Chain A
Amino acid sequence: MMWVLRRWIQTAATFLSNAYLMFPASRNIYQGRLKSVCTPGLNCYSCPAATGACPLGSLQNFYATLRPGLEQGRLHVGLYVIGFLGIIGSLVGRMPCAWVCPFGFLQEIIYKIPSRKFEIPHVLIYGKYVFLGLFIVILPAVVVDDFGYGVTWFCKYVCPAGTLEAGIPMLALQPSLRELIGPLFYNKMAVLLLFLILMVFIKRPFCRVVCPLGAIYSLFNRVSVFRMVHHPDKCVLCEECYRHCPMGVRFYEGANQVDCIRCLKCYQESCKFGAISYEVAGIRLPSIRTKRPEKEAPAD
Chain B
Amino acid sequence: MKTPRFVPILTAIIIVFISVVPTFAQNKVEPIDIEGVNKMMIVQDCPLFLVATAAWCGPCRQELPILNKLYAKYKEHGLKLVAISLDADGPAGMQRLVDALDLKFPVYWAGERMASAYNIFGVPTILIVREGKVQERIIGKRDENFLERKISSLMSNCKP
Contacts and interface: CB of A to CB of B under 8 A. Distances in A.
Given A147-B55, A147-B61, A180-B140, A68 B93 contact: yes
Contact of B56 (A26, A28, A32, A64): A64
Contacts of B121: 28-29, 31, 46, 170, 174
Given A72-B89, A170-B121, A176-B138, A146 B58 contact: no
Interface string A172-207: 001011011000000000000000000000000000
Interface in A37-92: 46, 61, 64-65, 68, 72, 74, 77
Interface string A153-177: 0000000000000000010001011
Contacts of A68: 55-56, 93, 96
A151 interface: yes
Contacts of A300: none
A145 interface: yes
Contact of B58 (A46, A77, A151): A151
B115 interface: yes
A186 B100 CA distance: 34
Given A176-B137, A176-B139, A147 B119 contact: no
Contact of B97 (A29, A77, A147): A147
Contact of A145 (B58, B88, B138): B58
A149 interface: yes
Nearest to B96: A147
Nearest to B100: A147
Contacts of A176: 137-139
8 contacts: A26-B119, A28-B119, A145-B58, A147-B61, A147-B100, A149-B61, A176-B137, A180-B140
Interface of B: 55-56, 58, 61, 88-89, 92-93, 96-97, 100, 112, 115-116, 119, 121-122, 137-141
The 8 closest A-B pairs by CB, nearest first: A180-B140, A31-B116, A29-B121, A28-B121, A74-B89, A28-B119, A65-B56, A31-B115
